[in-house]
Structure 1
Amino acid sequence: MIITAVWLMLPAYLPNSMAAVFGGGRPIDGGITMSDGRRMLGDGKTYRGLIAGTACGMLVGLLQMYYLSRSNSIFGVELPSFGDGAGALIVIFTLAFGSLMGDMSMSFVKRRIGYKRGAPLPGVDQLDFVMGAWLLTFLASPAWFLSNFTFSIVLTVLIVTPLLHFVTNVIGYFIGVKNEPW
């Protein structure tokens, strides 16, 4: 179950960390301050990060598709596909891009309620990108989403993701691509 859940989520798991690694440059909000006196998103959400994160998520999804063309299992677990042709590309794109949109949406909300850049919001910080990926993928390909994200897979993702999020953030902090370890 864990292998299947992580396999399905890889295109969504990778973009946020890759956006941090390859990000920087012009912020998406253009420096705009809202009527509450706070930045719309902040300097941490950049066009370069959005593009690089999405591209890396799509690349891992394409590598997964290539792997599936050679083998349909790993460690004895049969792996689900992302679909065929353009449908698979749409699913991979929506998982990758949706994860960044979920993270960005929660950054907007956190700014509105007074959280500064990097301030932790336990539970939300670990799952906002999952919700964004799931929402966009469901909207773009509901049949694929519902056939793959069963109750047990959803539950597994909701349990495993915070653990993976913690580990990758600590690594990012120690290698210097994150300002805080959460």
Structure 2
Amino acid sequence: MTNSLERNIASLWGLGEKTKFPGTLASFVCLIFSFLSYYFFDEKIHTILFFIFLILGYWAIHVIHKSNEPKDYSWIVIDEWIGMWLASFFLFESDFTLVAKIWVAIGVFVIFRIIDIIKFIPPINIIDKKKEQTAISVILDDIIAGCYSYAVLMIAFGFYNISFIYSSFLILLPAIIANMTPVLLGRIRKFSRPMNEEIFGKNKTWRGFLGGIFAGTLSYPLLLETNFIHVAQNENFIFLLGFLLSFGALTGDLVKSYFKRKIGIKEGEGWVPWDQIDYVLGAIIATYFIYDYSFKNIVLMLIIGGIMSALAHRFAYLIKIINTKW
């Protein structure tokens, strides 16, 4: 393989080929650059840089896979760079002295490498074990490792306290209920006509979609206990918010189903982690114009939503409502 542009990007211009520990070296170099980004720029620029790296990394790995075996080559380290950059967002959350910040940055690096190397936390271990890797899956496990690293530090430093976690759970609850309802209604035969079997598959029915929105929206009084109440002090707004969270959640599920059909994933076959977080992403997008979610909100909601979905899916499998474990 020649030193093409895509190989240079994927290997960070040969950095991934200079040591027996390419991922660790790439993460450490990223630590330096991400700290400089934090020191000289604001969080918005840091975010823009992250998406630039993400787009370039995806493109480079995708092109490499088109002409080579689709796997996670050891010299591909742009994924570690992306994951480490994501974890470094924690630097913007803490207010320490410069020296303390340097030690915090080192802590971010250490935690990220532990999580990324051991890969003991789902769904990182599930994604990593896939025989055929795509550009998305190569990058995705490092993105998840970056999110977990960020969350660990947020908990360790008290930014994710019990109150904040509980509030985030309640905010997401209408979406969780909406997402679970179609499965619970699965054995009811009435209104079981698929919405569009060719596009979404036979399991996406009007019964599940409308029933999920109805059930999720009715849970809106629970939002009164959350910090969302400061946005507007009236029940009509909370009712609308419950509807948007539910509608967004199930629309996110539909979009995911469309892409599953598009790439040839069979009906009922698992697609980790999108099966677990599709509804969370949909709910966040649907309500983002109302509540300007911060990075820490989004990460925590994705983790909570993913855990709840995985547990619900596992329970449904055990009682034989569905046929796949995850």
TM-score by length of 1: 0.78
Letter in 1 for 2:304: V
Identify the residue that residue 169 of structure 1 maps to in structure 2.
Answer: 313
Q: Offset at 1:155?
A: 1.6
Structure (1 or 2) with the greater helix fraction: 2
Q: How does 1:1-182 map to 2 (within 5 A)?
A: 1-23=164-186, 25-29=192-196, 31=197, 39-62=198-221, 64-65=222-223, 68=224, 72=225, 79-81=227-229, 83=232, 84-138=234-288, 142=289, 144-146=290-292, 149-182=293-326
Letter in 2 for 1:164: M
Q: Identity of aligned pairs, percent? A: 29
Q: Deviations over 1:119-142 (max 9, x none)?
A: 22212111111111111222xxx2
For structure 1, list consecutive stretches of 5 or more residues without a partner in the other structure.
32-38, 73-77
Q: Offset at 1:28?
A: 0.5
Query: Is the 8 Å Cα contact of residues 7 and 79 (structure 1) preserved in structure 2?
Result: no
Q: Offset at 1:150?
A: 2.9
Distance in 1, matches of 2:313 and 2:296, equals 26
Higher relative contact order (CA 8 A, sep 6+): 1
Corresponding residue SS for 1:80? helix
Count of aligned residue pairs for this structure pair:
157
Distance in 2, matches of 1:177 and 1:61, equals 27
Corresponding residue SS for 1:116? coil
Distance in 2, matches of 1:85 and 1:91, equals 10
Q: Deviations over 1:53-76 (max 9, x none)?
A: 1111111223x15xx4xxx5xxxx
| Runs of 4+ deviating beyond 6 Å | none
Q: Offset at 1:175?
A: 2.2
Could you say what the CA RMSD is over the residues aligned between the two structures, in angstroms?
1.8
TM-score by length of 2: 0.45
